[in-house]
Every structure is written in C-alpha cells, then in structure tokens.
Amino acid sequence: MRFDLLIKGGEVVDPGANLSGRMDVAVAGDRIAAVEHDLPAASARQVIDAGGEYVTPGLIDLHTHAYWGVSYFGVEPDPIAARTGVTTWVDAGTSGAFSFPGFRRYVVEASQARGFAFLNISSVGLVALTNEASNLNYCDVDLAVKTIEASRDIIVGVKSRMDPDATLGTGTESLRRAREAADQVGLPVMVHIAEGPPALKDIIALMRPGDILTHCCTGYSNRVIDEKGKLFDFVRRLWDQGLILDVAHGTGSFGYATAEAMLEAGLPPDVISTDMHQLSVQGPMYDLPVVMSKFLSLGMSLADVIERTTAAPAKILGQPDLGTLRPGAKADVALFALERGSYAFYDSYMQSRQGTQKLVPALTIVGGKVLERRPEKPLAVWAELPEHQRILRAQPHP
C-alpha cells in the first residue's frame, strides 16, 4: 500500500487504542492507515522523522474560548493549535443562541483545526466579561433547544456559569434552565464553578451523570474539597455515577492544593483542559502542553495525561474517530519532545511546584496535513492579567 505520509521512528503513546512503543504511523488521505513496526520509507510520498519524539493522537482541548473579536475572552484557534499539538478545540459557551450562527461561519468553518461548542444558556453568551445570566429573559430554553437542533454537528452540550458575577442574584435558575434544555436534546451540561453563591451543593444537585464540572481544581470557595483537604462526599457520589471532572485551568481556576487533594483521594481529573482565552494565554496557564506538564509534575504518568487529553474528551464528544491513532480514524496527530530538567510550574494563585519533565510540541497534523504555524493576533486592549500574576512578564515561558 502506498501512503501519503509516514511518521517514522517515534514513541507512540495512545492509551485509548492501547498502542505504545516505537512504531511508525502511516496516513492515507485524511485517515490513519497503519501503526506498525518498520514500515518502509519508500512506501510514502512524505516521511517525517520522529526519532526521539513522542507521537500521540491530536490533542482535544475540551474547554476553550475561540470567538475572537466578538467576545471578551475569544482567541483565534488555529495559531494556538498549530504550536501546541491541539487538533480539536471545544468552545465552552462563548456563544449563545444570538451569536452562534456567526460562530459557526466565522470560527468553526474558517478554522483548519476541528471545532465544537457548548452553547451558553444565555442567548447573549460571553460578549462581556460576565453578568450573562443576570437577566433571565436571555436564558430562553426554547431558543437554546432550537439552536442546538439546527446545529447538532457542532453543539455538544449546554454551558452555565455559576458564580455571583455571572448570576447577579438569580441563584441557580439559569442552571436549572440549562438542565431543562440539555435534557430536551439529550446532551450534557457543562457547569463553571468558582466563588459562591450559589453553593456547590446546590449546583451539584442540578447535575447528572455525564455532566461536566469544569474548573474542578479551583481554589475558590466552591472547591470540591473541605478545609481539611477531603473531597466532599456529595461530589464523590456523583463522580462515582459518572460526573466528569474537567480541569479548565484558566487564569483563576487552578489551585495545587485542590489538585493534590483530588489525587490523594484517588480522584484524578477525568479531562485536562485549558480554559484558553485572552488572559490565560499570558500565563500561568499558557497552553495545553504546559497544563499537561503540571500534572506530570504532580505524579501522573505520561499515558494518563495523554488519555485525559485525547481518548477521554473524544468519548465525551461522541467522536470515536478522534483522539486515537487507531487505523481508520481521522489522521490527527501530535509530535512532542519530553524535555528533562528543572522547571517551576505555577498555579493560578502563583503557588509553584517543581517539575522534572516538560512536554514541548514539535508538530501538529490535522486530517493528514501539517498545520502551519502563523502569528497569533495581538491581545485585546482589555486583556490585562490580575496584578498578582504580572510577575510572569519578567519570567521565561515554562
């Protein structure tokens, strides 16, 4: 068989397909054609030497904000995807029903990397920093359902933010409406947590198995651990039934104390994602490989970290052809070096942990084609880091 592309000599890590070890990955058209030992270079039109590098399925970032120019948070996905190994990004409620048609046309259809979205229950979405659920007239269940039914190829769930700024005294009503819309269309709810109110227990009461608790490692008052570092029983019970815990690091949503307590309790996050947006790209989040490296520094294995950025989010999206190198799957591939040294990794509160390993992206391939790197758009004029994080400007990117 003649291949279009052959990635030779890399260390394959694909936990979802139970593939590991030094193998070659062959691509025909936009599909993985073979993963085998010592495929002949002459069998391919193009050969990529992956010696000394890890070859993984293309990464899937389950929590991003990709509506550049229309939202406070939005970034342009392709330039970031090209330099990070991310081949599929999922927007976490940047668009609501009123702005979703533009999101489809100008973001998803215009991007080379694959795009999906959680629809914000607020029809105005995240045009501004917050307050989107303060006017419940915008939280229109019927409109959300109609929007989802018309775009099931892209929309994978409903998003609700539960914190005092987003709700402005309306409590859990917007989440209740998100729950109603999600139940009508048979999709999950993704719920943002940070400070209360609403209280975490009241939020969890409206969630179901298969829903996604995003920012699960937050250090804010609605964290999933008590003052002694013990996981709340009501969180553990729902997790045992199928609640999905998603990292979504962001600018203010990742605390080492919470992450370490979760790992100590035998409750590692189900998905590792970024909450990529105008502020978080400046650090200490930076990008998905950096967040993955933080979990390596906390003792998770490389295979477990890869699984939570490939197979696990692919399953949530209902996309069995993504997040894997299994022959017949979409030819989305990422190449990484695993550098060794001494690295300081910071959480959102500028607490640091030392790591000895760092994932360094080398190449991103989408549908069998290399995603070319190009400059990212300048940051928005309002994209200013919180004061306690501005020290990052004087430090090198990890």
Q: Is 151 helix (H, G, I), strand (E, B) or coil?
A: coil
- Structure tokens that stand for 197 in this block: 């109110």
Q: What is the pLDDT of residues 310-353, one digit of tens each?
A: 999 999 999 999 999 999 999 999 999 999 999 999 999 999 99
Alpha carbon dihedral 99, 102, 103, 108, in 10-degree steps, equals: 170
Please state the rounded mean pLDDT for residues 205-222: 98
Q: Is the dihedral of CA 204, 208, 210, 211 positive or negative?
A: negative
**Residues 367 and 330 sit within 8 Å (Cβ to Cβ):** yes
Domains in the chain with CATH codes: 57-317 (3.20.20.140)
| pLDDT score for 357 | 97
Q: What is the mean pLDDT of the chain?
A: 97
Task: Summarize pLDDT for 174-213 with one digit per residue, the tens.
Answer: 999 999 999 999 999 999 999 999 999 999 999 999 999 9
Question: Which stretch of DSSP H or E encloses residue 11?
Answer: strand 3-14
pLDDT of residue 1: 76
332, 56 contact by CB (below 8 A): no
Residue 15 backbone phi and psi in degrees, to 5: -60, -35
11 bridge partner residues: 22, 54
Residue 287 CA, chain-centre distance (Å), reads 10
The structure tokens 């692919």 sit at 314
Q: DSSP assignment, residue 225? A: B
What gap in Å lies between CA 338 and CA 7, rounded to an integer? 17
Q: Is the separation of the CB atoms in 309 and 372 below 8 Å?
A: no
Residue 290: which of 347, 363, 371, 223 has the closest Cα?
347
Determine the Cα–Cα distance for residues 231 and 191; give it in Å rounded to an integer.
18
The tokens for 290 are 């950096």
Looking at residue 397, its pLDDT comes to 75
The DSSP letter of residue 366 is E
Integer angstrom CA distances of residue 384 from 72, 122, 137, 282? 11, 25, 31, 9
Q: Residue 104 has what DSSP assignment?
A: I
Given a cut of 90, whether residue 394 has pLDDT beyond it is no
Number of Cβ atoms within 10 Å of the Cβ of 270: 22
Tell me phi and psi for residue 388, to 5 degrees: -70, -15
Question: Hey, which residues does 244 pair with through a beta bridge?
Answer: 212
Strands 19-28 and 31-36: antiparallel
The predicted-structure confidence for 29-48, as pLDDT tens digits, reads as follows 999 999 999 999 999 999 99
- What confidence tens digit (pLDDT) does each residue in 9-20 have? 999 999 999 999
Checking if the pLDDT of 395 tops 80, the result is: no
244-267 average pLDDT score: 96
